[in-house]
Amino acid sequence: MRTGLTAYAIITLASLGLAACVGAPDSVRATGDTSATTGDLELRASGAGNWDIDCVAVTGRGQANASVKGRGSTSTDMLYVRDVSSAACTYQTGASPVTLKLMEEGVACPFGAFEGGICQTILPAETSGTLRFSVR
């Protein structure tokens, strides 16, 4: 009987130790530097015809690639990359303009200012270029 209680006690202590280890990263993060050095990149694009927007983002986990595309009639597409410190997006529009909305205020608005939580621009038809995003 005593051996059973000892084994039970060891299993219980091991479970508590595992739970403490699982919770450790959050507690370390909570007491660390709280200055905002990253944000989430959330882009929504809509337009008619064929268009492409390809992004390369630098995140807390390395480099991330994401894209949005329109094919044919009016299309809407969205990309979302978490923990971004900077990003560069190349775009190519077709015969129609493309409306691009930045939905996250943690990333600076390269088109002017956020209004009502949205940063928006219209990419003219038949154009290409690069958009750069960074954390505020």
What tens-digit pLDDT sequence spans the chain (136 residues)? 444 443 333 333 333 333 333 333 332 233 333 344 778 999 999 999 999 999 999 998 999 999 999 988 888 999 999 999 999 999 999 999 999 999 876 889 998 888 888 899 999 999 999 999 998 7
CATH architecture, range 39-134: Sandwich (2.60)
Three-state secondary structure call for residue 131? strand
Query: What is the DSSP secondary structure assignment for residue 2, as one 8-state letter?
Result: H
- Whole-angstrom distance, CA of residue 84 vs CA of residue 57: 6
Query: What is the DSSP secondary structure assignment for residue 84, as one 8-state letter?
Result: E
Spell out the domain ranges in the chain.
1-34, 39-134
Asked whether the beta carbons of 77 and 69 are under 8 A apart, the reply is yes
- Whole-angstrom distance, CA of residue 106 vs CA of residue 9: 47
Whole-model pTM over 0.85: no
The residue whose two tokens read 């979302």 is 80
